[in-house]
Amino acid sequence: MAVTRRVLAACLAVVALVVAGCSRESDADEAPPVGVAIRDLGAASVQRNQVYARRDTGALKLDLFLPQRRTTPTPLIVYVHGGGWDAGGRTLDADLAAPEAQVAQRLLERGYAVATVDYRLSGVAHYPAQVIDVADAVRWLQQRAETWQLDPGRVGLWGASAGGQLVSQLGAVAGDPTKPGGGLSGIRAVVDWFGPTDMSAEAQVAHPQIPDYARRVVTELLGCMPVECPATADSASPIKNISGDEPPFLIQHGTADSLVPIDQSLDFAQELRRRGVTVELHPYEGLEHGFGRGPDNVLIVDTVTAFVENHV
């Protein structure tokens, strides 16, 4: 897509940048204001450091937050962290003012279980290791649903930045078990926060002047530059893998995002709609990558909550 190609250089810059930003509590009637520590995000219990897979590079772990108020079986939201695929970690409750923590707390209040997963970073494994890891984490939770009274047929995927790319990719290939990470069952919805969606060779050709740093981290992720491995680059681009079988998508993105231009999300939403997929796209005027701190975060949290309750 022409618009997508015009913005590749900025898109690629995100590959090694950590999602930043914090927010205010989105509903003062339901939770204390930011700055008041909510132990374990208000969960009834947290199953931490659960090993869901073992690789040559070490064990992969997840944390599972179980809500105080719950129906059984309990629907599940799986969160995938950002960090440019080469940094970051699964911890959600280290910064209680971050928008991710605020959304997770709200979902727990509404009776959803929330899992947050680690995956192999690009410094130890090239793509598609990351998307395979997240898919394995989802399947591991589904296979053990009875242990924690989870509903394996009511799962939502949510990710930010690099994590947004990973959950978008899993949503795109949910109907195709032949693709890496593909064929996940029970996925009712995907929430993508400002994730890059096109790293194709065509996009690189349209923007040959890629900064050295971006060139290095893209090579670390893919094992090559897109023009050198177009099939691999396409396989890592959600926009190249849409079939029309995708679950509903919520895409949230700041219009002033200097790392992943909002055109990435506009193009992705347009292509999903063209294939008949249900999409909600919410641009936030003037917000940067990570959303930051401000009154818009009230709406961001409310929007995620409403979307999840409508679809998961």
Res. 35: pLDDT tops 90: no
Residues in the chain: 312
Q: What is the mean pLDDT of residues 35-46?
A: 77
Please report the pLDDT score of residue 18 as a whole number.
Answer: 33
Asked if residues 308 and 37 have their Cβ atoms less than 8 Å apart, the reply is: no
Confidence band, pLDDT 50/70/90 cuts, at residue 294:
confident
Q: Please answer whether residues 5 and 202 qualify as being in contact, where contact means their C-beta atoms are separated by less than 8 angstroms.
A: yes
> Cα–Cα distance between 188 and 51 in angstroms, integer?
25
Taking Cα atoms as reference points, which of 145, 141, 118 lies closest to residue 55? 118
Q: What angle do CA 32, 288, 124 make, to 5 degrees?
A: 95
Res 22: pLDDT = 32
Lowest mean pLDDT among 143-147, 219-223, 247-251, 307-311: 219-223
pLDDT at 292 exceeding the cut of 90:
no
Q: Which amino acid is at 51?
A: V
Residues 28-45 have a mean pLDDT of: 61
Residue 56 main-chain phi, psi, to 5 deg: -60, -25
Q: What is the dihedral of CA 217, 218, 223, 225, to 10 degrees?
A: -130
Beta-carbon-side half-sphere exposure of residue 156 (alpha carbons within 13 Å): 27
What's the whole-model pTM score?
A: 0.87
For the chain, what is the mean pLDDT? 86
User: Which pLDDT does position 209 carry in this prediction?
Assistant: 66
What secondary structure does DSSP assign to the chain, as a single string? Answer: -HHHHHTHHHHHGGGG---------S-TTTSPPTTS--GGGG-SEEEEEEEEEEETTEEEEEEEEE-SS--SSEEEEEEE--STTTS--S-SSS-TTSHHHHHHHHHHHTT-EEEEE----TTT--TTHHHHHHHHHHHHHHHTHHHHTEEEEEEEEEEETHHHHHHHHHHHTTT-TTSTT----SEEEEEEES------HHHHHH-----HHHHHHHHHHHSS-GGG-HHHHHHT-GGGS--S-PPPEEEEEETT-SSS-HHHHHHHHHHHHHTT--EEEEEETT--TT--SSTHHHHHHHHHHHHHHHH-
What number is the average pLDDT over the span 78-105?
91
Rounded Cα gap, residues 258 and 127, in angstroms: 24
Quick one: pLDDT band at residue 20, thresholds 50, 70, 90? Answer: very low
pLDDT of residue 28: 31
Is a pLDDT exceeding 90 seen at residue 250? Answer: yes
The pLDDT, as a whole number, for residue 219 is 85
Q: Which of 218, 205, 273, 274 is nearest to 6 (CA)?
A: 205
> Residue 181 pLDDT more than 50?
yes
Domains of the chain: 2-311 (3.40.50.1820)
Which whole number is the average pLDDT over 256-265?
A: 88
Percent of the chain with pLDDT over 70: 85
The pLDDT of 195-202, averaged and rounded, is 85
pLDDT over threshold 90, residue 184:
yes
Query: Is the distance from CB of 236 to CB of 1 less than 8 angstroms?
Result: no
Percent of the chain with pLDDT over 90: 70
pLDDT band at residue 226 using 50, 70 and 90 as cut-offs: confident
pLDDT score of 162: 92
Is it the case that residue 206 has pLDDT exceeding 90?
no
pLDDT digits (tens, 9 = 90+) for 66-86: 999 988 999 999 999 999 999
Sheet holding 74-80, edge to edge: 45-55, 58-66, 113-117, 74-80, 150-160, 187-193, 249-254, 279-284
Nearest-angstrom CA–CA distance, 31 and 52: 32
In this prediction, residue 214 has a pLDDT band, given cuts at 50, 70 and 90, of: low
Tens-digit pLDDT profile for residues 143-168: 999 999 999 999 999 999 999 999 99
Q: Quick one: pLDDT at residue 204?
A: 72
Chain-centroid distance, C-alpha 98:
15
Confidence of residue 15 (pLDDT cuts 50, 70, 90): very low
Min mean pLDDT across 14-18, 109-113, 187-191 is at 14-18
